[in-house]
Amino acid sequence: MNLADLNKVALAMVVPGKGVLAADESSGTIKKRFDAINVESTEETRRDYREMLFRSQEAMSKYVSGVILYDETIWQNAKDGTPLVKLIEQSGAIPGIKVDEGTQALPNCPGELVTAGLDKLAERLKKYYERGARFAKWRAVIDIGKNIPTMTAIHVNAHALARYAALCQQAQIVPIVEPEVLMDGDHDIDRCFEVTQRVLNKTFQELRVQRVALEGMILKPNMAIAGKKSAKPSSVEEVAEKTIRLLKSCVPAAVPGIAFLSGGQSDEDATAHLNAMNRIGSLPWRLTFSYGRALQAAPQKAWSGKPENIAAGQRAFTHRARMNALASKGEWEAGLEKKVA
Protein backbone atom coordinates (compact mmCIF):
# COMPACT_ATOMS: atom_id res chain seq x y z
CA MET A 1 0.00 0.00 0.00
CA ASN A 2 1.29 3.42 -1.02
CA LEU A 3 -0.48 5.70 1.45
CA ALA A 4 0.77 8.91 -0.16
CA ASP A 5 -0.89 7.99 -3.45
CA LEU A 6 -4.11 6.91 -1.73
CA ASN A 7 -4.21 10.20 0.16
CA LYS A 8 -3.64 12.13 -3.06
CA VAL A 9 -6.65 10.43 -4.71
CA ALA A 10 -8.81 10.91 -1.59
CA LEU A 11 -8.01 14.62 -1.47
CA ALA A 12 -8.77 14.98 -5.19
CA MET A 13 -12.18 13.41 -4.61
CA VAL A 14 -13.11 16.09 -2.07
CA VAL A 15 -11.41 19.08 -3.67
CA PRO A 16 -13.39 22.26 -2.85
CA GLY A 17 -16.07 23.03 -5.42
CA LYS A 18 -16.44 19.45 -6.69
CA GLY A 19 -18.16 16.27 -5.60
CA VAL A 20 -18.82 12.66 -6.57
CA LEU A 21 -21.51 11.53 -9.00
CA ALA A 22 -23.00 8.24 -7.80
CA ALA A 23 -23.92 6.58 -11.11
CA ASP A 24 -23.77 3.09 -9.65
CA GLU A 25 -27.45 2.18 -9.53
CA SER A 26 -28.04 -1.55 -9.76
CA SER A 27 -30.00 -2.85 -12.74
CA GLY A 28 -33.09 -3.12 -10.53
CA THR A 29 -32.82 0.42 -9.22
CA ILE A 30 -32.22 2.07 -12.57
CA LYS A 31 -35.16 0.11 -14.01
CA LYS A 32 -37.42 1.81 -11.45
CA ARG A 33 -35.97 5.19 -12.40
CA PHE A 34 -36.46 4.47 -16.12
CA ASP A 35 -40.00 3.16 -15.54
CA ALA A 36 -40.83 6.57 -14.05
CA ILE A 37 -39.85 8.28 -17.33
CA ASN A 38 -41.29 5.53 -19.58
CA VAL A 39 -37.92 4.31 -20.84
CA GLU A 40 -37.22 0.60 -21.23
CA SER A 41 -34.17 -0.38 -19.20
CA THR A 42 -31.78 -2.22 -21.52
CA GLU A 43 -28.01 -2.43 -21.63
CA GLU A 44 -28.09 0.05 -24.50
CA THR A 45 -30.43 2.61 -22.90
CA ARG A 46 -28.47 2.49 -19.65
CA ARG A 47 -25.27 3.06 -21.63
CA ASP A 48 -26.81 5.94 -23.60
CA TYR A 49 -28.05 7.64 -20.45
CA ARG A 50 -24.74 7.41 -18.63
CA GLU A 51 -22.81 8.43 -21.72
CA MET A 52 -24.98 11.57 -21.83
CA LEU A 53 -23.90 12.40 -18.27
CA PHE A 54 -20.22 11.67 -18.84
CA ARG A 55 -20.17 13.81 -22.00
CA SER A 56 -21.62 16.79 -20.10
CA GLN A 57 -18.34 18.64 -20.45
CA GLU A 58 -19.06 21.61 -18.20
CA ALA A 59 -20.52 19.55 -15.37
CA MET A 60 -17.86 16.86 -15.50
CA SER A 61 -14.84 19.15 -15.81
CA LYS A 62 -15.95 21.88 -13.39
CA TYR A 63 -18.09 20.25 -10.72
CA VAL A 64 -17.48 16.47 -10.63
CA SER A 65 -14.38 15.01 -8.97
CA GLY A 66 -15.23 11.35 -9.42
CA VAL A 67 -17.89 8.93 -10.68
CA ILE A 68 -19.00 5.73 -8.96
CA LEU A 69 -19.79 3.13 -11.62
CA TYR A 70 -21.77 -0.10 -11.58
CA ASP A 71 -20.03 -3.29 -12.76
CA GLU A 72 -21.91 -3.24 -16.08
CA THR A 73 -20.93 0.36 -16.79
CA ILE A 74 -17.21 0.11 -16.08
CA TRP A 75 -16.85 -2.42 -18.93
CA GLN A 76 -19.06 -0.57 -21.42
CA ASN A 77 -17.95 1.51 -24.38
CA ALA A 78 -19.63 4.66 -25.67
CA LYS A 79 -21.43 4.56 -29.02
CA ASP A 80 -18.21 5.58 -30.78
CA GLY A 81 -16.28 2.77 -29.10
CA THR A 82 -14.55 4.88 -26.43
CA PRO A 83 -14.58 3.15 -23.03
CA LEU A 84 -16.88 5.06 -20.67
CA VAL A 85 -14.02 5.02 -18.15
CA LYS A 86 -11.95 7.02 -20.64
CA LEU A 87 -14.70 9.64 -21.02
CA ILE A 88 -14.57 10.16 -17.26
CA GLU A 89 -10.77 10.36 -17.22
CA GLN A 90 -10.72 12.79 -20.15
CA SER A 91 -13.01 15.16 -18.22
CA GLY A 92 -10.52 15.23 -15.35
CA ALA A 93 -12.73 13.15 -13.02
CA ILE A 94 -11.67 9.92 -11.31
CA PRO A 95 -13.42 6.62 -12.13
CA GLY A 96 -14.66 4.55 -9.19
CA ILE A 97 -16.61 1.32 -8.77
CA LYS A 98 -19.36 -0.03 -6.51
CA VAL A 99 -18.06 -3.39 -5.28
CA ASP A 100 -20.68 -4.60 -2.83
CA GLU A 101 -23.17 -7.16 -4.13
CA GLY A 102 -26.26 -5.82 -2.42
CA THR A 103 -27.93 -6.83 0.81
CA GLN A 104 -29.35 -10.03 2.22
CA ALA A 105 -31.33 -10.89 5.34
CA LEU A 106 -29.25 -10.97 8.52
CA PRO A 107 -29.76 -14.30 10.32
CA ASN A 108 -31.56 -14.11 13.68
CA CYS A 109 -32.26 -10.39 13.18
CA PRO A 110 -35.75 -9.95 11.66
CA GLY A 111 -36.02 -6.88 9.44
CA GLU A 112 -32.28 -6.27 9.30
CA LEU A 113 -29.79 -6.63 6.46
CA VAL A 114 -26.11 -7.33 5.91
CA THR A 115 -24.16 -6.41 2.77
CA ALA A 116 -22.60 -9.21 0.70
CA GLY A 117 -19.60 -9.23 -1.62
CA LEU A 118 -16.41 -9.90 0.34
CA ASP A 119 -15.83 -13.29 -1.29
CA LYS A 120 -13.30 -12.93 -4.13
CA LEU A 121 -13.28 -9.14 -3.67
CA ALA A 122 -9.46 -9.05 -3.80
CA GLU A 123 -9.50 -10.59 -7.28
CA ARG A 124 -12.24 -8.27 -8.50
CA LEU A 125 -10.40 -5.20 -7.22
CA LYS A 126 -7.32 -6.10 -9.29
CA LYS A 127 -9.44 -6.19 -12.47
CA TYR A 128 -11.17 -2.92 -11.61
CA TYR A 129 -7.81 -1.23 -10.97
CA GLU A 130 -6.54 -2.41 -14.36
CA ARG A 131 -9.70 -0.95 -15.96
CA GLY A 132 -9.00 2.44 -14.37
CA ALA A 133 -10.89 2.49 -11.06
CA ARG A 134 -9.01 4.38 -8.36
CA PHE A 135 -11.67 4.31 -5.68
CA ALA A 136 -14.50 1.98 -4.67
CA LYS A 137 -17.74 2.05 -2.70
CA TRP A 138 -19.43 -0.35 -0.28
CA ARG A 139 -22.81 0.49 1.26
CA ALA A 140 -24.05 -0.86 4.57
CA VAL A 141 -27.75 -0.36 5.35
CA ILE A 142 -29.02 0.28 8.87
CA ASP A 143 -32.75 0.73 9.40
CA ILE A 144 -34.45 2.43 12.34
CA GLY A 145 -37.64 0.85 13.65
CA LYS A 146 -39.17 -0.91 16.61
CA ASN A 147 -36.33 -2.72 18.44
CA ILE A 148 -33.90 -2.07 15.59
CA PRO A 149 -31.13 -1.57 14.83
CA THR A 150 -29.65 -4.31 16.97
CA MET A 151 -26.03 -4.22 18.04
CA THR A 152 -25.65 -7.37 15.91
CA ALA A 153 -26.60 -5.53 12.72
CA ILE A 154 -24.37 -2.58 13.54
CA HIS A 155 -21.42 -4.83 14.35
CA VAL A 156 -21.57 -7.15 11.33
CA ASN A 157 -22.04 -4.28 8.89
CA ALA A 158 -19.23 -2.22 10.41
CA HIS A 159 -16.96 -5.28 10.32
CA ALA A 160 -17.75 -5.89 6.64
CA LEU A 161 -17.10 -2.22 5.80
CA ALA A 162 -13.70 -2.42 7.48
CA ARG A 163 -12.78 -5.70 5.74
CA TYR A 164 -13.73 -4.16 2.40
CA ALA A 165 -11.73 -0.98 3.13
CA ALA A 166 -8.61 -2.95 4.03
CA LEU A 167 -8.86 -5.00 0.82
CA CYS A 168 -9.27 -1.81 -1.23
CA GLN A 169 -6.18 -0.17 0.22
CA GLN A 170 -4.21 -3.36 -0.36
CA ALA A 171 -5.23 -3.06 -4.04
CA GLN A 172 -4.24 0.65 -4.11
CA ILE A 173 -7.86 1.72 -4.33
CA VAL A 174 -9.39 4.39 -2.06
CA PRO A 175 -12.42 3.00 -0.20
CA ILE A 176 -15.57 5.06 0.20
CA VAL A 177 -16.99 3.77 3.48
CA GLU A 178 -20.78 4.17 3.39
CA PRO A 179 -22.73 3.25 6.52
CA GLU A 180 -26.23 4.50 5.69
CA VAL A 181 -28.81 4.94 8.42
CA LEU A 182 -32.03 5.06 6.43
CA MET A 183 -34.48 7.97 6.68
CA ASP A 184 -37.54 5.87 5.77
CA GLY A 185 -39.14 5.68 9.23
CA ASP A 186 -41.12 7.92 11.55
CA HIS A 187 -38.21 8.63 13.91
CA ASP A 188 -37.18 12.16 14.83
CA ILE A 189 -33.78 13.76 14.27
CA ASP A 190 -32.54 12.92 17.76
CA ARG A 191 -33.17 9.21 17.21
CA CYS A 192 -31.28 9.43 13.91
CA PHE A 193 -28.43 11.23 15.71
CA GLU A 194 -28.21 8.55 18.40
CA VAL A 195 -28.27 5.60 15.98
CA THR A 196 -25.83 7.19 13.53
CA GLN A 197 -23.45 7.96 16.38
CA ARG A 198 -23.45 4.30 17.39
CA VAL A 199 -22.95 3.21 13.78
CA LEU A 200 -20.06 5.62 13.11
CA ASN A 201 -18.30 4.84 16.39
CA LYS A 202 -18.47 1.11 15.69
CA THR A 203 -17.37 1.61 12.08
CA PHE A 204 -14.23 3.53 13.05
CA GLN A 205 -13.47 1.00 15.78
CA GLU A 206 -13.58 -1.78 13.18
CA LEU A 207 -11.51 0.27 10.69
CA ARG A 208 -8.78 0.56 13.31
CA VAL A 209 -8.91 -3.17 14.05
CA GLN A 210 -8.43 -3.87 10.33
CA ARG A 211 -5.53 -1.35 10.21
CA VAL A 212 -7.20 0.82 7.59
CA ALA A 213 -5.26 4.04 6.97
CA LEU A 214 -7.79 6.79 7.64
CA GLU A 215 -5.82 9.23 5.47
CA GLY A 216 -6.56 7.00 2.46
CA MET A 217 -10.36 6.72 2.71
CA ILE A 218 -13.53 8.80 2.30
CA LEU A 219 -16.58 8.59 4.56
CA LYS A 220 -20.03 8.62 2.93
CA PRO A 221 -22.56 8.99 5.76
CA ASN A 222 -26.17 10.01 6.05
CA MET A 223 -26.99 13.36 7.59
CA ALA A 224 -28.68 13.65 10.98
CA ILE A 225 -32.24 14.09 9.78
CA ALA A 226 -35.76 13.12 10.78
CA GLY A 227 -37.39 10.16 9.04
CA LYS A 228 -39.68 10.83 6.08
CA LYS A 229 -42.74 9.84 8.13
CA SER A 230 -41.74 11.82 11.22
CA ALA A 231 -44.27 14.12 12.85
CA LYS A 232 -41.37 16.45 13.61
CA PRO A 233 -39.54 17.38 10.39
CA SER A 234 -36.12 19.01 10.76
CA SER A 235 -35.21 22.53 9.67
CA VAL A 236 -32.18 23.13 7.45
CA GLU A 237 -30.33 24.77 10.36
CA GLU A 238 -31.09 21.89 12.73
CA VAL A 239 -29.90 19.27 10.22
CA ALA A 240 -26.67 21.20 9.65
CA GLU A 241 -25.93 21.87 13.32
CA LYS A 242 -26.69 18.34 14.53
CA THR A 243 -24.89 16.65 11.65
CA ILE A 244 -21.73 18.67 12.32
CA ARG A 245 -21.95 17.94 16.05
CA LEU A 246 -22.44 14.25 15.27
CA LEU A 247 -19.46 14.07 12.92
CA LYS A 248 -17.18 15.96 15.27
CA SER A 249 -17.97 13.41 17.98
CA CYS A 250 -17.21 10.38 15.77
CA VAL A 251 -14.97 11.10 12.76
CA PRO A 252 -11.21 11.45 13.27
CA ALA A 253 -9.52 14.48 11.73
CA ALA A 254 -7.23 12.15 9.76
CA VAL A 255 -10.10 11.38 7.34
CA PRO A 256 -9.54 13.68 4.30
CA GLY A 257 -13.19 14.25 3.52
CA ILE A 258 -16.83 13.42 3.99
CA ALA A 259 -19.03 13.02 0.90
CA PHE A 260 -22.66 12.83 1.99
CA LEU A 261 -25.30 10.58 0.50
CA SER A 262 -28.64 12.24 -0.22
CA GLY A 263 -30.67 9.33 1.12
CA GLY A 264 -34.02 10.21 -0.39
CA GLN A 265 -33.95 13.95 0.28
CA SER A 266 -35.35 16.26 -2.40
CA ASP A 267 -32.82 17.83 -4.78
CA GLU A 268 -32.93 21.23 -3.13
CA ASP A 269 -32.98 19.90 0.45
CA ALA A 270 -29.81 17.88 -0.17
CA THR A 271 -28.15 21.01 -1.56
CA ALA A 272 -29.40 23.32 1.20
CA HIS A 273 -28.25 21.00 3.99
CA LEU A 274 -24.75 20.63 2.53
CA ASN A 275 -24.51 24.38 2.06
CA ALA A 276 -25.58 25.12 5.64
CA MET A 277 -22.97 22.71 7.01
CA ASN A 278 -20.17 24.32 5.02
CA ARG A 279 -21.26 27.75 6.21
CA ILE A 280 -20.70 26.61 9.80
CA GLY A 281 -17.02 26.21 8.89
CA SER A 282 -13.95 25.44 11.04
CA LEU A 283 -14.10 21.75 10.19
CA PRO A 284 -11.22 19.25 10.25
CA TRP A 285 -12.34 17.56 7.04
CA ARG A 286 -13.74 18.70 3.69
CA LEU A 287 -17.50 18.28 3.26
CA THR A 288 -18.94 17.57 -0.18
CA PHE A 289 -21.54 15.43 -1.95
CA SER A 290 -21.74 11.93 -3.34
CA TYR A 291 -25.27 12.12 -4.68
CA GLY A 292 -27.12 9.74 -6.97
CA ARG A 293 -30.80 10.53 -7.30
CA ALA A 294 -30.35 14.15 -6.09
CA LEU A 295 -28.06 14.79 -9.07
CA GLN A 296 -29.84 12.64 -11.61
CA ALA A 297 -33.62 12.96 -11.17
CA ALA A 298 -33.75 16.23 -13.12
CA PRO A 299 -31.55 15.11 -16.06
CA GLN A 300 -33.41 11.77 -16.29
CA LYS A 301 -36.73 13.59 -16.62
CA ALA A 302 -35.35 16.10 -19.13
CA TRP A 303 -33.78 13.32 -21.24
CA SER A 304 -36.66 10.80 -21.11
CA GLY A 305 -34.77 8.43 -23.41
CA LYS A 306 -34.96 10.66 -26.50
CA PRO A 307 -31.81 11.52 -28.48
CA GLU A 308 -33.17 14.98 -29.24
CA ASN A 309 -33.32 15.68 -25.49
CA ILE A 310 -29.64 14.98 -24.77
CA ALA A 311 -28.74 18.67 -24.60
CA ALA A 312 -31.64 19.35 -22.23
CA GLY A 313 -30.59 16.45 -20.03
CA GLN A 314 -27.03 17.73 -19.93
CA ARG A 315 -28.21 21.23 -18.99
CA ALA A 316 -30.27 19.82 -16.12
CA PHE A 317 -27.32 17.74 -14.92
CA THR A 318 -24.94 20.70 -15.14
CA HIS A 319 -27.32 22.84 -13.12
CA ARG A 320 -27.66 20.34 -10.28
CA ALA A 321 -23.91 19.66 -10.27
CA ARG A 322 -23.21 23.39 -10.11
CA MET A 323 -25.70 23.95 -7.27
CA ASN A 324 -24.07 21.22 -5.19
CA ALA A 325 -20.57 22.42 -6.07
CA LEU A 326 -21.53 25.84 -4.70
CA ALA A 327 -22.98 24.17 -1.59
CA SER A 328 -19.68 22.35 -1.05
CA LYS A 329 -18.14 25.80 -0.56
CA GLY A 330 -21.06 27.30 1.37
CA GLU A 331 -21.87 29.61 -1.55
CA TRP A 332 -25.30 28.30 -2.62
CA GLU A 333 -28.44 30.44 -2.38
CA ALA A 334 -32.01 29.35 -3.04
CA GLY A 335 -32.46 32.09 -5.66
CA LEU A 336 -29.85 30.44 -7.87
CA GLU A 337 -32.17 27.47 -8.43
CA LYS A 338 -34.32 29.52 -10.77
CA LYS A 339 -31.39 30.52 -12.97
CA VAL A 340 -31.19 27.35 -15.05
CA ALA A 341 -29.14 27.82 -18.22
Catalytic residues: 178, 220
Residue 105's SS3 state is strand
Query: From the centroid of its chain, how far is CA 120?
Result: 23
| Residues 6 or more apart in contact with residue 100 via CB below 8 angstroms | 115, 116, 117, 137, 138, 139, 164
* 140: amino acid identity, one letter: A
Regarding beta strands 64-69 and 113-115, do their DSSP bridges make them parallel or antiparallel, or are they unpaired? Answer: unpaired
Are the CB atoms for 261 and 222 separated by under 8 Å? Answer: yes
Residue 52 zone, left/alpha/beta (φ > 0; ψ -120 to 50; rest)? alpha
Query: From the centroid of its chain, how far is CA 175?
Result: 12
Regarding beta strands 174-181 and 218-219, do their DSSP bridges make them parallel or antiparallel, or are they unpaired? Answer: parallel
Across 225-248, b (16+ Cβ under 10 Å) vs e yields bbbeebeeebeeebbbbbbbebbe
DSSP 83: B
Residue 267's SS3 state is helix
Gap between the Cα atoms of 309 and 88, Å rounded: 21
Q: How many residues does the chain have?
A: 341
* 299: amino acid identity, one letter: P
CA–CA–CA angle 127, 80, 340 (5° rounding): 95
Q: CA torsion sign, 248 to 254 to 260 to 261?
A: negative
